[in-house]
Amino acid sequence: MQVEVILASAANACPNIYTIRMRYPRPIHGEIMTHRVFGRNARSSRAVPVKTMLNEVRTIPYVPWHWGKNQKGMQASEECNELIELVDEITQELDYQTVRMTNEEAWLHARTEVANVAEAFMEAGYHKQNPNRLLEPFSWIDTLITATQWDNFLWLRQHHAAEPHLQDLANLVAEAISEADVQNLTEDEWHLPYITEEEKVTHNSDILLKLSAARCARISYKPFNGDGSISAELERADLLMKDERVHASPFEHQARPDVMKEEMFVYQPLIETESSRVGFSRTKMKTWNYPHLHGNLTGWIQHRKLIPNEVYHG
């Protein structure tokens, strides 16, 4: 597994914002998706060529490193190393022979069989979204996540009750966050993943926002590694926004700090006693200037919220 902080930013009263690239087993991706405070893009089985997926599954497949013994409930309290018995060959007499494999050998045997079937689908002309689904249990997924609220994810997923591979991932995320270099931003500066200091000097904020979004979007088929022309990236960003149904998720990774103000009064009922009626206490509290533009990034104005048609309200 791989975890890398692409960019970390801080600003005044805002919680720190982290954009993190992760590579983890595809089977645990569904549990990552349950965290709604994450702005994310991920490698798509509908975008990656089947040949690319086949090559990876055949050369660097995901093989579990936790093999839990079956028991009641969702957690396995001990490892299982029992041999797996599989049918090896059916004879002309309709008899069969069995072979005993280790858990890893059996997993790789299944990988080989499924990869051959996926390749047959590809050669028959099926769209990548079909054969690639077959390969998902044996593949890795690249994900880009931007968030300001990581504590709950770590609290849940670092716990011993979490799926063990996800627990390992959460531990890597916690380590990466603790070691990240955090830049300080002013109210007018943007958190811009995949943008260099040289580009910040050369281009205006509108261009930089598009470049960052386009590079974040590339995670769907190949993580950005510094390649690609500026013009190609801008064209990609425009393609994301050109249709009535905007592909808005890549615009969730750019954000600028919101500012707090002291203009909200909160009224709370007082406890009624025998000698007095129910009344209200008035408390002056701080609030953000533009909370409706935060999206899932508390304290930060999310780029997506500034994009026309970023969501359909019916």
pLDDT digits (tens, 9 = 90+) for 278-307: 666 667 677 899 999 999 999 999 999 999
Q: Residue 186 falls within a domain, yes or no?
A: yes
Does the pLDDT at position 95 exceed 70? no
Q: Which conformational region is residue 287 in: left (phi greater than 0), alpha (psi within -120 to 50 degrees), or beta?
A: beta
Q: Interior CA angle at 296 toward 291 and 300, to 5°?
A: 50
Predicted local distance difference test score (pLDDT) of residue 163: 96
pLDDT in tens, 237-263: 999 999 889 999 999 999 999 998 877
297: in domain: no
Q: Is residue 181 part of a domain?
A: yes
Instruction: With respect to residue 274, please indicate whether it lies within any of the assigned structural domains.
Output: no
**Cα separation values, 298 from 16, 38, 44, 87, 309, Å:** 10, 11, 27, 55, 21
Lowest mean pLDDT among 43-47, 50-54, 221-225, 238-242: 221-225
CATH of the domain at 119: 3.30.1360
Question: Would residue 206 count as lying in a domain?
Answer: yes
Q: Are 233 and 214 in contact (CB under 8 A)?
A: yes
d(CA 100, CA 235): 54
Question: Model-level pTM?
Answer: 0.90
Tokens of 130: 């079909």
Beta-carbon neighbour count of residue 26 at 10 Å? Answer: 17
Rounded to the nearest angstrom, the gap between the alpha carbon of residue 3 and the centroid of all alpha carbons in its chain is 11
**Structural domain includes residue 204:** yes
Tokens for 285, please give them. Answer: 């509290």
Burial 276-298 (b: 16+ CB within 10 A, else e): eeeeeeeeeeeebeeeebbbbbb
The structural domain count of the chain equals 1
Edge-to-edge, what's the strand order for the sheet holding 140-147? 39-42, 140-147, 14-25, 2-11, 183-184
Residue 220 maps to a domain: yes
- For 193-218, what is the mean pLDDT? 96
Q: Domain containing 7: what range? A: 2-70+80-255
Residue 98 is predicted with a pLDDT of 83
**Beta bridge mates, 197:** none
Which residue's structure tokens are 């990869």? Answer: 115
Cβ(40)–Cβ(152) below 8 Å: no
